[in-house]
Structure 1
Amino acid sequence: MLRRNITEETCSRIIYFANKQSLKDGICIHSPMLKLGVRDNLLLTNNLLSLYVKCCGAQHARHLFDEMPHRDVVSWTSLLSAYVKDGNHREALAFFDFMKSSGENPNEFTFSNVLTSCRALGDFVYATRVHASLIRHGFGSNTILCTSLIDLYSQRGMLRDAVQVFDGVANVDSISWTAMISSFVQAGSWLQAVRCFIRMIDNAVPPNEYTFVKLLVACSCLGIDHVKLIHSQLILWGAPLNLVLKTALVYAKCQQMEEASKVLKQTSEQDVQLWTTVICGFTQNMSFLDAVTAFRHMVGNNIVPNGYCYAGILNACSSAQSLLLGRQIHAQVIMAGLENDVSLGNALLDLYAKCSDAVADVKRVFEGIALPNVVSWTTLIAGLAEQGLPNECCLAFLEMRLEGQQPNSFTLWSVLQACGATGSANDTGKVHGFIIKTNADHDIAVVNALVDAYAGLHMAACALRLVKGTSSRNVATYTVLASKLNRIGQHRLTLEIINHMRDDGLQIDGFVISTFLSASANLGAARSGEQLHGYAIRSGFAGWISVLNGLINLYGKCRCVAEAERAFTEVCQPNTISWNALMHGFALSGCTASALSTLEDMRLAGARPDSVTLMMVLYICGEGGLVDLALDYFHSLRRLYDIKPRLNHYSLLVDLLGRAGRLEEAVGMLNSMPLRPNALIYKRLLHSCRLHRNMLLAEQLARKGLQLDPCDLEFYHLLATIYDEGGRSDLGDTMRNLVKEGGGMRKNATRQRPLVEMNLSSSWQQKCIESRIPGMSLTLSNEE
């Protein structure tokens, strides 16, 4: 007996040492144990089982377990934990059922392992059974198990159940409080998370750094004041500012990057995650230069960027429209061997789609992504749409479907935008059919995109029918419809949307009020505009800048200048739209001096004039006959504010010079402008030639205008009138006869384009020569 005790003690020491060192050689003691007949010693076999679990895994340990003559809860729990450790969670739950059927009662460690498997599998039905079982076994208030249950229920979104479990905990410690706070954060209940923290402090439970990490995530959504409050508590409790906590604090303070930078400098401990948070914070705050500077500092501190960091700096390059810097980062990505990273590929794709004019760049980056995901395809489609290539956008969508990728709502939105750009009702209908087949019509964002597409195609009835047919319609749906109808000139239909919203019991908000005000302004409907004004005041939207801008525009177009000025004074910080609307109101009312004075006030206030402002100024000067002042404004505003004039700016200026009799300057402006002229500019100049009886120039301009639009008969009528008023009624009759001979030209222009061009380029010119049209002495540019 003494020898047996010595043998058991020796085996026990060997197994203990092997267990401590995780030495597989310790398993060799198994054979002597069998030979010496000491396997009845439960403590010894449990230690041996633990060694098998550590060194050989659950499968080999199961063989020993099945051979054990005696087992206790430790034996069962050891093997169960082995299954959990190996990731065999289904096997772990089956083994737990086997344990219960054998009559062995589980302990808290057993339940902890089982709950781990339930969380890993997402098997919440089994978890509720486990919850009931642990209550029956007297573990309903166990802190560790309740914390696991809180985490488990939160993962499923069962916040009420998580709160009930928390309220049942006997001695709530920091871990349990943190788990509960985390549950509120995960559910998006930010204020509840802060209130839970206040209760935690009231109960004198000290928070740890993980508590503050969760709180900072919540406060980043609540605002900077809440962040400052938690930061002060962090200092008060003396929580160590480790990397995890510092990163969370910087993330939370991304609204105020100056404060975030101070946190960054508080300790020398830094890593790539912290710097990535700083870079992304600067990018979100539109501080792109600071983002690039932070990236350089990070590299200078010998911290190697990872894929997320490169993606963050590439987003900054995209937002800043810095293609050159983006190409440099692209080169670094290649040198770092990260070019196969999908998220990085998507960031590069976004960069080239937004910043490069070459479609080949976008396609090359996309082809370099080994396994493009839905984000890759969506970025490609959106990029092609932005590049003005709607047909290629639709083809990319078809290819995406052939590859088996399921589009998301933004993909469908981009494709519908492309269909609208092509003006193809057929393509829009096909995409609509796909949306119905895939049940994507339950997504309100997709429905809104469809409404926008149909309204943009002037299919207002289809758009309204679609709105009425969806059960998930909301204010945004009607806002999209009203905005598009107003944009395409359907102003009366736009105002009828008010009745539809009222029938659906939807509250009109500030965004859609702005659209209704714009429609009223375009109709000159002061009465409906005043009613909308009263509604905005009653509903609390009268202070919105978009509403006030709409009121300025409304009263200005209705020539109620005093009301427009009153609405303007209510704007706290007038933007360019506010100033333009006021200026337009003065111009329509013939108050030239007040309009130009408004421009100077706008510049003194620091608002930046845009192309609309320039158009307004040229119109105002034209109405007042202020040609030289118009030229001065045209050149000065272009230079000071980097305004790129459009064709309508040049058209207005050429017309202004022509009506003033400065025809040579007008032709010089026409020749020097960097844009291709259209037929309208030539017709405007023809009117000026008629006004100033310049027959010679009129002939030259008519020929150039007809080269641009051979089917425009207005050139013939204008030239005939100029001939009549210039004493050459014979040439005027010739022009009218040409119109009669080509009476069917406009009707057949699409069908017989080559014939029409021949008639107007050769036959017309031949008859003009026979009628002795003199040659030109003033040369027009041939550059189109």
Structure 2
Amino acid sequence: MTNKVAVAAAFLSRTNELGYNLQQSCSHILSFCESTALRSGLHIHSPVIKLDLLENLDLCNNLLSLYSKTDGIWNARKLFDEMPRKTVFAWTVMITAYTKSQELGSAVSLFEEMIASGTRPNEFTFSSVIRSCVGLRDLNYGARVHGSVIKTGFEGNSVIGSSLTDLYSKCGQIKEARELFSSLQNADTISWTMMISSLVEARKWREALQFFSEMIEAGVPPNEFTFVKLLGASSFLGLEFGKMIHSNIIVRGIPLNVVLKTSLVDFYSRFSEMGDAVRVLNSCGEPDVFLWTSAVSGFARNLRAEEAVATFLDMQGLGLQPNNFTYSAILSLCSSVRSLDLGKQIHSQTIKAGLEDSTDVGNALVDMYMKCSASEVEASRVFRAMIWPNVVSWTTLIIGLVDHGFERDCFGLLMEMVTQGVEPNVVTLCGVLRACSKLKYIRQISEIHGYLLRRHIDGDIIVANSLVDAYASSSKVDYAWNMTRSMDRRDDITYTSLVTRFNELGKHDMAISVISHMCVDGIRLDQFSLPGFISGSANLGALETGKHLHCYSVKSGLSSADSVLNGLVDMYSKCGSLEDAKKVFEEIARPDVVSWNGLVSGLASNGCISSALSAFEDMRMKGTEPDSVTFLILLSACSNGRLTEMGLEYFRSMKEIHNIEPQIEHYAHLVGILGRAGRLEEATGVVETMPLKPNALIFKTLLRACRYHRNLSLGEDMANKGLVLAPFDPAFYILLADLYDESGKPELAQKTRNLMTEKGLSKKQGQSSLEIQGKVHSFVSEDATTVDKTNGIYAEIDWIKSEIERSGYTYRSIKNASYHSAKQAAVFGLVYTSPQTPVHVVKNKIMCKDCHDFVSHMTRLVDKKITVRDGNRVHMFNNGECSCKGDETSFVSS
């Protein structure tokens, strides 16, 4: 019996020794695999389970750590849940794994479970969970963790302190972050670098540099990562700051590793110092993909296409395989320089490199095809082939469709995007709002506005500006103003958008009023907003306001901007001050086609036809190619000047010499030129043979010529065809009725006017305005029997009529034109300006013959220059003469 017991004891002893040795062997293997991240070490898990060794904490902890590093977080969590006992090490490993995998919410939840289990966190646990709070930007929970740190006695720990400093700074609490950092004991290089990094990310670049100075004073040596962060700050502070940092790197003997070299290349390329960037690149011993990609990106960013491609090829020649960032950079360059051929070659290379599934490359390809191709088909094909399109992918496609004129497709795409779980960002919604602006879709604008309110992102100034622009462009002026007032902050883009849209809507007085709102907000006029205000002054005929804006442009240093000078040329021309317009034009250093068009148009509209055509020849001699707008101006000038053959020659030269395809507006002017010359048969032939489908404007132009030449049968035909296209355009009824009157058919004229009344149509109300002492006064045409004449203007008109008759001038006043707005404005200017001050009137319609004769005779009675700019041209009256030479096609009958 005793022998049996002894044998059994010996057997158990050997078994225990074997088990202990096996545990030790497993621990050694796991430690080695864990340190080198060898996935093969996971095979230890099977014998651990079979031998029931899960109670061994060292084995389980090492196995858990290996799972988290090599096999994904899901299997690590499975092992963690199976562990019978969990040490602080196990909890920390799991929380850290979640943090590194960016599953930040799970990290915080697991930390909560750890606290509930009674396990006391260590400094590494706190550091990981705080980093999760940083990623979540959850300051409230981070502050609670901070409280736990204090309670558990880790307050002075540098690792935790650095993490807390990072949390407070990235959540915008810079003051608290600095105070916390100051309380750290023996802050090391990592702690200082993390604080500098936080300041850079918070866009506190000068504070970051100041902190670096304090770091040096404290005797803490910076490392390469410190300088990487400082170079990031220097990219915003300026070239000299970056050079100073580079000098520090050299003086301190900091080794130029790949990360630091890449940062230097990127920094120099941001300031177009590609020579320095290349020198840094060439100093690299071993070639690196990221470093060379930074150089390629630098050349691409600076639009140095040949050097970017050459660097890209050199990179491949060194045996480096370009990555998704390299290809994205080259494709971005293709988009910028509009090189479709190069883009297609790069596309084929990405396929060969197996990067067709890369979202970054796919996004760059969609952008390239949208910007370089005349069609959206290829971009859509690339997008549909993408496996994981992100918000950038969808946004790029939507904006591209808007640019290609497929605005309606954007709304379905937005719905599809949301359905697939991709949240639109501010840029996406701004693109859709731009589509709404083009289509005047008020309902969709309101829906997007509501979506933004629900998401609490309506306060973002970029999207708020887009809403202002969308409402204003859709004629919802009150909505635009309300949106502007509701904004926490407004900028120059806000007001530039308003003034631009108000001018487009013809609300020029409202456009000029925007200036006072800008002044209240302390926003200065710039080269983008100032031309809008000058344009408003030009269209109102507000010469005095325009001159004030001219003075402002000189004082503010904006007078050299082409956009401002072009606007001033237009303003002075429209206000009849041709000499001033010419002087401003001469100040333009390199006049482009827009500048020349402004000068030619100004001369032509003021009746200086020969000077306008001479300016066009000067433009060509100085090497500026005309565009389609130039020919619209020339054809209009030839029409007004009755230069028929010259107008025909200009039209022919568009395609034959300048390779410009005539548009419908050019054909309308051609028809007008032939119509004025009485060549109605040729004009009709143009309409019938032109390659474009005639629109209402074409038929209206020919109908006006028929009225002038009293061609009743052709006029009726043109009116019928025009009304098919624009049945609610009153101009057709008015012109046809006038044609019947002048053809001796008053009953048909009355019938036409009755039909117009039955359809609820009426003439556009005549409105005229003029500026006196900086204030714009507006007048409308009214029935004399129903208007209160307290201002005395009607009495003044009647008195001037009697003086004209008493002086023996032939003037037959038409009863229904007695008090037209042009007469009111001209007489108001005569009464309320000094004798030496010219009167400049702006009228929204073509001037009628009655008003034309009245103003002409008025300048015979008084020594006063009066100009009236109507919807057709500028009439300059002086001593009974007009610049239009009494051409009856320059005004309407009544």
- Corresponding residue of 1:132: 150
- Shift of the 177–599 alpha-carbon distance from structure 1 to 2, 3 Å rule, reads farther
State the Cα distance separating 1:283 from its structure 2 match.
Answer: 3.8
Q: 2:548 is matched by which residue type in structure 1?
A: Q
- Where is the helix percentage greater, Structure 1 or Structure 2? 1
Q: Could you list the runs of 5+ residues in structure 1 that have no partner in the other structure?
A: 1-6, 31-44, 68-75, 726-731, 752-784
Contact 2:736 2:749 in 1 (8 A): no
Compared with structure 1, are the counterparts of its residues 384 and 15 closer, same or farther at alpha carbon in structure 2 (3 Å cutoff)? Answer: closer
Q: In terms of mean alpha carbon deviation, does 92-101 or 297-306 score higher?
A: 92-101
Q: Measure how far apart 1:145 and its partner are.
A: 5.5
Question: Structure 1: which amino acid aligns with 2:523?
Answer: Q
Tell me which moved more, 143-152 or 403-412.
143-152
How many angstroms apart in 2 are the aligned matches of 1:192 and 1:721? 77
Greater Cα offset, 166-175 or 382-391: 166-175
CA distance in 2, matches of 1:355, 1:56: 48
What secondary structure, in the 3-state scheme, does the structure 1 residue paired with 2:463 have? helix
* Aligned twin of 1:195: 210
TM-score (norm 1): 0.72
SS at match of 1:461: helix
Match among 248, 258, 272 for residue 243 of structure 1:
258
Task: Tell me, in whole angstroms, the C-alpha distance in 2 between the residues paired with 1:641 and 1:236.
Answer: 61
What corresponds to 2:129 in structure 1? 117
Alpha-carbon distance change, 426 to 224 in structure 1, aligned in 2, over 3 angstroms: same
SS in 2 for 1:495: helix
**Aligned residue number for residue 154 of structure 1:** 169
Q: Offset at 1:186?
A: 1.0
Out of 363, 386, 389, which is 1:346 matched to?
363
Are positions 1:389 and 2:401 aligned together?
no
**8 A Cα contact 1:83 1:92, kept in partner:** no
| Shift, 1:525, TM fit | 0.7
Aligned to 1:40: none
Q: 1:553 aligns with which of 570, 574, 592?
A: 570
**What's the offset of the Cα at 1:366?**
3.7
Q: CA deviation at 1:522?
A: 0.7
Give the distance between the partners of 2:244 and 2:607, measured in 1 at CA. 56
Letter in 2 for 1:132: I
Query: Is the counterpart of residue 264 in structure 1 residue 264 in structure 2?
Result: no
Correspondence 1:733-744 to 2 at 5 A: none
Secondary structure of 1:213's match? helix
Cα deviation, residue 484, structure 1: 0.7
Cα deviation, 1:265-294, whole Å, max 9, x if unaligned, reads 443643333344344334433444554444
| Structure 1 residue 111, shift from structure 2 partner | 2.4
Q: Take 1:243 and 1:540, find their aligned partners in 2: how far apart are those partners? A: 45
Pair 739,560 (structure 1): closer, same or farther in 2 beyond 3 Å: closer
Instruction: Find the aligned partners of 1:646 and 1:121 in 2 and give their Cα distance.
Output: 61
Counterpart code for 1:465: N
Inter-CA distance 169–447: structure 2 relative to 1 (3 Å threshold): closer
**Structure 2, unpaired ranges of 5+:** 1-16, 35-40, 49-55, 69-75, 100-106, 135-140, 762-894
Between 76-85 and 646-655, the greater mean CA deviation after superposition: 76-85
Equivalent of residue 465 in structure 2, options 434, 448, 469: 448
Q: Does 1:280 align with 2:297?
A: yes
Amino acid at match of 1:410: V
Residues 1:278 and 1:705: Cα distance change in structure 2 (over 3 Å): farther
| 1:407 lines up with 2:419 in the alignment | no
Partner of 1:226: 241
1:419 maps to 436
Q: Is the CA contact (8 Å cut-off) linking 2:131 and 2:167 kept in structure 1?
A: yes
Q: Which has the higher contact order (CA 8 A, sep 6+)?
A: 2
The 5-angstrom pairing of residues 176-195 of structure 1 reads: 176-195=191-210
TM-aligned CA distance change 1:264 to 1:610, over 3 Å = farther
Residue 541 of structure 1 contacts residue 547 of structure 1 at CA under 8 Å; is this kept in 2? yes
Work out the CA distance in 2 between the residues paired with 1:701 and 1:296.
68
Displacement of 1:311 in angstroms is 3.0
Please give the secondary structure, in 1, of the residue aligned with 2:458: helix
CA contact (8 A) 2:699 2:721 kept: no
Query: How far off is 1:610 after superposition?
Result: 3.8
With over 3 angstroms needed to count, the CA separation of the structure-2 counterparts of 1:455 and 1:240, relative to structure 1, is: same
CA RMSD of aligned residues (A): 5.1
Distance in 1 between the 2:62 and 2:736 partners?
Answer: 106
Q: 1:717 to 1:111 in 2, by over 3 A?
A: closer
User: Quick one: which of 211, 214, 218 aligns to 2:229?
Assistant: 214
- Asked if the contact 1:699/1:719 (under 8 Å) is kept, the reply is no
Provide closer, same or farther for how the CA distance between residues 306 and 702 of structure 1 changes in structure 2, counting only shifts above 3 A: farther
The within-5 A match list for 1:469-480 is: 469-480=486-497
C-alpha deviation, 1:487, in angstroms? 1.0
Cα separation, partners in 2 of 1:223 and 1:675, compared to 1, 3 Å: farther
The reply on whether 1:460 has 2:477 as its aligned counterpart is: yes
699-708 or 116-125, which deviates more? 699-708
Q: In the superposition, relative to structure 1, how do residues 617 and 245 fare at CA in structure 2: closer, same or farther (>3 Å)?
A: farther
Residues 472-523 of structure 1, C-alpha deviation per residue, up to 9 Å, x if partnerless? 5555333322221111211122223345556x54535224333222111111
- Give 1:120's aligned amino acid: S
Q: Which of the numbers 264, 270, 293 marks the counterpart of 1:254? A: 270
Question: In the alignment, is the contact (CA less than 8 A) between 1:115 and 1:130 conserved in 2?
Answer: no
User: AA paired with 2:336?
Assistant: S
Structure 1 residues 594-743: aligned runs within 5 Å? 595=612, 609-620=626-637, 644-653=661-670, 655-656=672-673, 675-681=692-698, 684=701, 707=721, 710=724
Q: What is the letter of the counterpart of residue 392 of structure 2? A: V
Partner in structure 1 of residue 874 of structure 2 = none
Matches of 2:441 and 2:28, distance apart in 1: 79
Distance 2:695 2:81 in 1: 87
For 2:568 and 2:647, locate their aligned partners in 1 and report how far apart those are by CA, in whole Å: 28
Match of 1:509, SS? Answer: coil
SS in 2 for 1:441: coil
Paired position in structure 2 for 1:563: 580
Report the Cα distance in structure 1 between the residues aligned to 2:88 and 2:698, rounded to whole angstroms: 89
1:526 Cα shift?
1.0
Please list the CA deviations of residues 219-264 of structure 1 after superposition, one character each: whole Å capped at 9, or x if unmatched: 2223334334434444444444332222222222234163334443
Overall identity of the aligned pairs, in %: 37
Cα distance per residue 1:139-179 (max 9 Å; x no partner): 73x66565444434334333223323444456565444433
The separation in 1 between residues aligned to 2:291 and 2:612, in whole angstroms, is 53
Distance (whole Å) between structure 2 residues aligned to residue 481 and residue 191 of structure 1: 35
Give the residue type in structure 1 aligned to 2:535: S
Asked whether the 8 Å contact 2:703–2:718 carries over to 1, the reply is: no
Task: Give the 3 Å change call, closer, same or farther, for CA 301–172 of structure 1 in structure 2.
Answer: same
Whether 1:507 and 2:523 are equivalent positions in the alignment is yes
Distance 1:222-1:688 versus aligned 2 partners, 3 A rule: same
TM-score (normalizing by structure 2): 0.64
Residue deviations 1:578-604, cap 9 Å, x none? Answer: 444344444444555665665566667
2:538 corresponds to 1:521: yes
> CA offset at residue 189 of structure 1?
1.6
When residues 169 and 575 of structure 1 are mapped into structure 2, their CA distance, relative to the original with a 3 A threshold, is farther
Q: 1:659 to 1:86 in 2, by over 3 A?
A: closer
Cα 1:276/1:658, change in 2 over 3 Å = farther
The match for 1:303 is 320
